[in-house]
Amino acid sequence: MKSHEVDYQVFGDDLQFVEIELDPGETVIAEAGMMMYMEDDITFETKMGDGSKPQAGFLDKMVSVGKRALTGESLFMTHFTSAAREGKRHVAFGAPYPGKIVSIDLDEANGELICQKNSFLCAALGTEVSIAFNKKIGAGLFGGEGFILQRLRGDGMVFIHAGGTIIEKRLVNGKILVDTGCIVAFENTISYDIQRAGNLKSMVLGGEGLFLATLQGTGRVWLQSLPFSRLADRILQFAPSEGGRSAGEGSVIGAATKLLQR
């Protein structure tokens, strides 16, 4: 095993968190700010890079940081390690918005997973977190996520999160059309492209967007029912106008609107 072998348990329904169980010396990496709680004897350190290449030099680490900056993620990752001499210790990570957390064994996913940026939550040490450039111009211009997706490589457990409910689809030489914002992740045996959403009338009046993503091949695909961008758009749609207040809308909506606009 290249990656540390960690046990875990997911708690909750729509506001989930995952608790990672660490043996002495085991480490889990996570996005900055995702930690919920940790037990005694767990140390944490913020580092440049994911720790998958401990012998990497400063220049290689800076290149890795630069790639993460392109995805809009923090330039650093936090490493949580059990410093206990014996016994198991636990650390938990919570999703930043309502949705589901999915655990995926990269060893069962051909060692690589492509996912939307912002979906990565945490992973066993040894997992490489980088970016994947989509080489097709159509997917880059109209795919919602642009040219840049996240690539997770390794042979350990990774944990991703998304909005609403997550469903896993298994394609066998198949093809599925998906709203571009509803894609969470897919295996590297799946090809990703963009196609026009029907005729001109459907594109303009259909309300489903001008383009749909096409996922084709043999492998697994994970989809989300409620992309955060869709939730934010709906909140803003019914939010009070500047200097005013909509009838029937409480102060909670106003507070949420101000938070989303920051």
- CATH number of the domain bearing residue 114: 3.60.160.10
Structural domains of the chain, count: 2
Whether residues 73 and 167 fall in one domain:
yes
Q: What is the pTM of this model?
A: 0.79
Whether residues 234 and 127 fall in one domain:
no
Do the domain assignments include residue 203? yes
| Residue-level pLDDT at 50 | 79
Whether residues 185 and 236 fall in one domain:
no
Residues of the chain with pLDDT under 50: 137-140, 143, 145-146, 247-251, 257
200: exposed, middle or buried (Cβ count in 10 Å: 0-12, 13-18, 19+): exposed
Whether residues 105 and 167 fall in one domain:
yes
Domain, as residue range, for 78? 7-226
Both tokens of residue 6? 């960690």
Whether residues 212 and 234 fall in one domain:
no
Do the domain assignments include residue 97? yes
Contact 203, 143 (CB under 8 A): no
Whether residues 173 and 252 fall in one domain:
no
Whether residues 124 and 250 fall in one domain:
no
Q: What is the torsional sign of CA 50, 51, 52, 53?
A: positive
Do the domain assignments include residue 1? no
| Residue-level pLDDT at 249 | 47
Whether residues 135 and 88 fall in one domain:
yes
Contact 150, 132 (CB under 8 A): yes
| Residue-level pLDDT at 233 | 74
Q: Of 262, 174, 163, 170, which is closest to residue 216 (Cα–Cα)? A: 174
Whether residues 123 and 28 fall in one domain:
yes
Whether residues 244 and 126 fall in one domain:
no
Whether residues 84 and 134 fall in one domain:
yes
| Residue-level pLDDT at 243 | 57
Do the domain assignments include residue 126? yes
**How do residues 75-103 score in pLDDT, each as one tens digit?**
788 999 999 999 999 999 998 888 999 99
List of residues 6+ apart from 56 with CB closer than 8 A: 49, 64
C-alpha angle 52/113/98, rounded to 5°? Answer: 100
Do the domain assignments include residue 234? yes
Do the domain assignments include residue 2? no
Whether residues 200 and 243 fall in one domain:
no
Do the domain assignments include residue 186? yes
| Residue-level pLDDT at 10 | 96
Both tokens of residue 39? 């037990």
| Residue-level pLDDT at 83 | 96
**How do residues 24-41 score in pLDDT, each as one tens digit?**
999 999 988 899 999 999
List of residues 6+ apart from 31 with CB closer than 8 A: 73, 74, 77, 78, 120, 121, 122
Both tokens of residue 111? 């060692």
